[in-house]
Amino acid sequence: MRIVETARELSELSYVVRQSGQKIALVPTMGALHEGHRSLIHVAQQHAEFVIVSIFVNRLQFNNEEDFETYPVTLEDDIAICRSSGVSALYMPSSSSMYPESFSTSVQVSGLTARFEGASRPGHFSGVTTVVTKLLTASAPDIAIFGQKDFQQFAVMRKLVKDLDIPVDMVMAPTIREEDGLALSSRNVRLSKESRQRAVSISQALFHSLSLFRSGIRDTQELIEATRQTCIGEIENLDYIAIVDAQTLDTVSEANLGDVLLFAGTIDGIRLIDNIIFSA
Ligand code: PAF
């Protein structure tokens, strides 16, 4: 596994790999890798011979300094996970190489970023779109893999590459869950034993709503209220529950196959997001 630390090295590597006829997949991450990331790597390997994982805790996308300071960093373990997963190259830029002092550009996607995570975390998405644009430019992958757990992030990135004509296929990999349903997230390590148990109510609420949908209920107010009732006792601060069109993220009044139920709330001061896609 090659480890590269600058955008220039990454571009040169990507050029050589493409010349050799291999396809490249990029898995962008902020480290603290877990089974969810392993699964993204696995999906990447199904699409391309050469898989690049990037690890960069992107200060620009944290709207809260404490969240950034306490974001888990487990570099040694991350490198071991990448090696044992058969990753071809690991890109680990320093903060100063990603954002030198002179850095003054930001990439903004309007519309899709105004709601949900964008409304609750001002500046978050411009941080994400700026860093991902840099990662895509440096690695020039054929495919980029993002997790379904950050559904809005995927929708925003899909719009970004379309609008900017970036020639990359965006692939969304399914959310990986613990046995009890909790969606895997690097932030889960911050949950106490008690709040970890309370957090299970989120996936229970989402799956309850999915079973109502499958039983024929389509009215979104009814589905949202059932979701709320299932988890409200465990959530300190419910940010949003919404049912949206998967492309536009516009809320819908009647749920249809492919629409997405989005959730965000706080337990024990830790903000958790999750979603499910309505399926038959
Ligand atoms: O989903 C993440 O881990 C981050 O938002 C990403 C895409 C790596 C950008 O920093």
| % of the chain residues with pLDDT over 70 | 100
Give yes or no for residue 29 CB within 6 A of ligand 1.
Answer: yes
**CB within 8 A of 238, min separation 6: which ones?**
228, 231, 232, 265
Residue 161 pLDDT: 98
For residue 128, how far is its CA from the centre of ligand 1 (angstroms)? 6
208 is an active site residue: no
Question: What backbone torsions phi and psi does residue 28 show, to the nearest 5 degrees?
Answer: -80, 135
Residue 98 pLDDT: 98
| % of the chain residues with pLDDT over 90 | 96
- Rg of the chain on CA atoms, in Å: 19
Q: Whose CA is nearest to atom 5 of ligand 1?
A: 128
For residue 125, how far is its CA from the centre of ligand 1 (angstroms)? 10
- 216 dihedral zone (left: phi>0; alpha: psi -120 to 50; beta): left
CA gap 199, 264 in Å, rounded? 11
Average pLDDT of every residue of the chain: 97
Residue 106 confidence class, pLDDT cut points 50, 70, 90: very high
For residue 258, how far is its CA from the centre of ligand 1 (angstroms)? 24
Position in ligand 1 atom list of the atom nearest CA 186? 3
Q: What is the mean pLDDT of residues 252-278?
A: 97
Domains and CATH numbers, the chain: 2-173 (3.40.50.620), 186-274 (3.30.1300.10)
Q: What is the mean pLDDT of residues 18-33?
A: 98
pLDDT tens digits for 57-97? Answer: 999 999 889 889 999 999 999 999 999 999 999 999 999 99
pLDDT surpasses 90 at 1: yes
CA gap 60, 119 in Å, rounded? 16
Q: Whose CA is nearest to atom 3 of ligand 1?
A: 29
Q: What crossing angle do the helices spanning 35-47 and 75-84 adopt, rounded to 10°? A: 40
**CB within 8 A of 225, min separation 6: which ones?**
none
**CB within 8 A of 61, min separation 6: which ones?**
123, 124, 125, 127, 128, 131
- Residue in the structure block whose two tokens are 């991350």: 78
* Active-site residue identified among 37, 47, 124, 208: 37
Residue 187 pLDDT: 87
For residue 147, how far is its CA from the centre of ligand 1 (angstroms)? 9
Residue 176 pLDDT: 97
pLDDT tens digits for 147-204? Answer: 999 999 999 999 999 999 999 999 999 999 999 999 999 889 999 999 999 999 999 9
Q: What is the mean pLDDT of residues 207-219?
A: 98
